[in-house]
Structure 1
């Protein structure tokens, strides 16, 4: 009986998740710069501290976040993930922590001054979920017959393709396009209007982790009230 009580005590003392496995991407600035740096990374670190649970960040290609969730290899996914009605068929999301927007990125001096200049050209986009992804689906719906859409696994591949002129433009998260305009050695410039995409950026999980997402939502609301979120936002995005 005494042994049973001891076992029950230790079982009940364990946190809800001994280790929360968080899938993210290798590199997608300014959201992910490394496993210790980037807006999404520092946001997740703050949330894990608030949860009082240990988190393990697991990097992978963007399109593998979905299969990793499906197989139970990760509990959460973060990394510039936009909420969409299609994704909500299979996954649940935290409260959105930022508006999701897209913008084109082109080479400096490319001579692209209007969308007509991209007619028939190759335009790159990051490969999203198995159903295409929010950014891909936007291009397919609005420009499917206008230019050639090429998909890429990660940001480094798409930036390399733009730099060597394999593609004529890239369609990226607005903040990512601005990052490369400012940090790409004067090679790139944003082009065209900023376009609302999806329903905001959020943390994604399977429905089985609804209780964990609810705990995260409470923390996100708290960060907004005590300016912790605003201070983090200004670190990576300034006053934009």
Structure 2
């Protein structure tokens, strides 16, 4: 490859990276907040980079680049509702543990799954969770529960990470939550691992993993297949991601 071509690709990559980094922090200092970007700017920048890295194929390059940019800057919606009160959670815990409660707030159960099982380009995938936390007998205040979803690109780097409180005020109990993740058209094929992490009073207590597989279709668009998670790790355990 000619030197000027290499330089052009490098310049485009650096430029897009800088622009997307700005997108990730717009609207607040926390990198864990919902991303708030200018879709037009992201799409144009992504399209330019895509055309460069595909060797001048402007149509395919624009689709790929714009898809990646859209994924990085798309907003991930989060919803959670309480389905079991703190008192109900304590009663169930006592029943299963000879009438005793843990000394400190403890995770009872945490499960995650994607619905639907597969989606087409331009649709959204929803990561659903069941969370149950019981207040400890030595706790003076109710626990603060937070959930985080981290989406990884096929190369193992983080595409986006969103962390949200499960309830508006500190509370134990059981909760049903969901992250709605848009997967734009044009995103390259490959595995997009998704990790969900649960925090109680600021401490990580569990994580679950699923793999979002992007499969190329015969058309210009792409099809996304969601793979079921591996066997869940026990509450309180952690594992590494790519």
Give TM class, smaller chain. under 0.3
Structure of higher RCO (CA pairs closer than 8 Å, 6+ residues apart): 1
The alignment's TM-score, normalised by the length of structure 1, stands at 0.25
Structure with the higher helix share, 1 or 2: 1
Structure with the higher strand share, 1 or 2: 2
Tell me which structure has the larger Cα radius of gyration: 2
